[in-house]
Amino acid sequence: MATYFEGLLLGLAFIAPLGIANLFIINTALNQPRHTAYLTATVVAVFDVFLSIVCFYGVGQLLMQYQLLKVGILLVGGILVALIGINIMRTEAQPPSATEQNFSWVKVFSMALMVTWLNPQALIDGSVMLAAFRVSLSPEAALLFITGIVTAAFVWYLGLTGALSRFKHKLTQNRMTWFNRICGAVVVLYGVKLLWNFIKTISA
């Protein structure tokens, strides 16, 4: 059972720092009705879980073996991340009582895919970290460990959504709009950083 809690704590430590997926969750929780925010958080958690499982069981090591694949992910991912940031910056905050009129499962799934599987930082870092833990564990312990990782994803994303959805009514619409712009700017900087890493990699 200790191995399960190790996985849980590591999962929380890896997800909690401010990153693209968290900024997307925060933006959704503050600008959409609670049910939409929870649906979005659940979808992101599921995509994150599958990414963690793939990285944990070694498929992510392909990135380490094939430099061209890594370079391609940095380029495409950097562009997509920057576009996500620009879209967030352009989003006007809605009043807390507003309801989502244009909910789209396609949009939710595509955004969840971009902030998890098409996020080079999560893909590369997760591959290295989780693959390293995998080789140090027995098959039984590995199952407990990855179960802890899976639990952490749902606990964090749903908990973050719940907390923000509950207290967003205390924020004015103007402040929420500015928060969107700040979050979007941070995401754009992530994208620029990834593109800079792409340039450094092909120049090396």
Q: What sign does the CA torsion over 22, 50, 62, 64 have?
A: positive
Q: What sign does the CA torsion over 117, 158, 87, 101 have?
A: positive
pLDDT tens, residue order, the chain (204 aa): 788 998 998 888 888 766 788 888 988 888 888 899 999 999 999 999 999 998 888 765 666 677 787 788 778 878 877 887 787 777 665 555 444 556 678 888 988 888 888 777 777 777 777 876 777 788 889 899 999 999 999 999 999 999 988 887 776 667 767 777 887 787 788 778 878 888 988 886
- Compute the radius of gyration of the chain from its Cα atoms: 18
Instruction: Copy the structure tokens of residue 45.
Output: 């958690």
- Taking a C-beta distance cutoff of 8 angstroms, is the pair 129, 14 a contact? yes
- Taking a C-beta distance cutoff of 8 angstroms, is the pair 115, 15 a contact? no
Question: What one-character-per-residue DSSP string does 31-66 give?
Answer: HS-HHHHHHHHHHHHHHHHHHHHHHHTTGGGHHHH-
Nearest Cα to Cα of residue 85 among 187, 196, 189: 187
Prediction pTM value:
0.76
- H or E element: which one contains 17? none
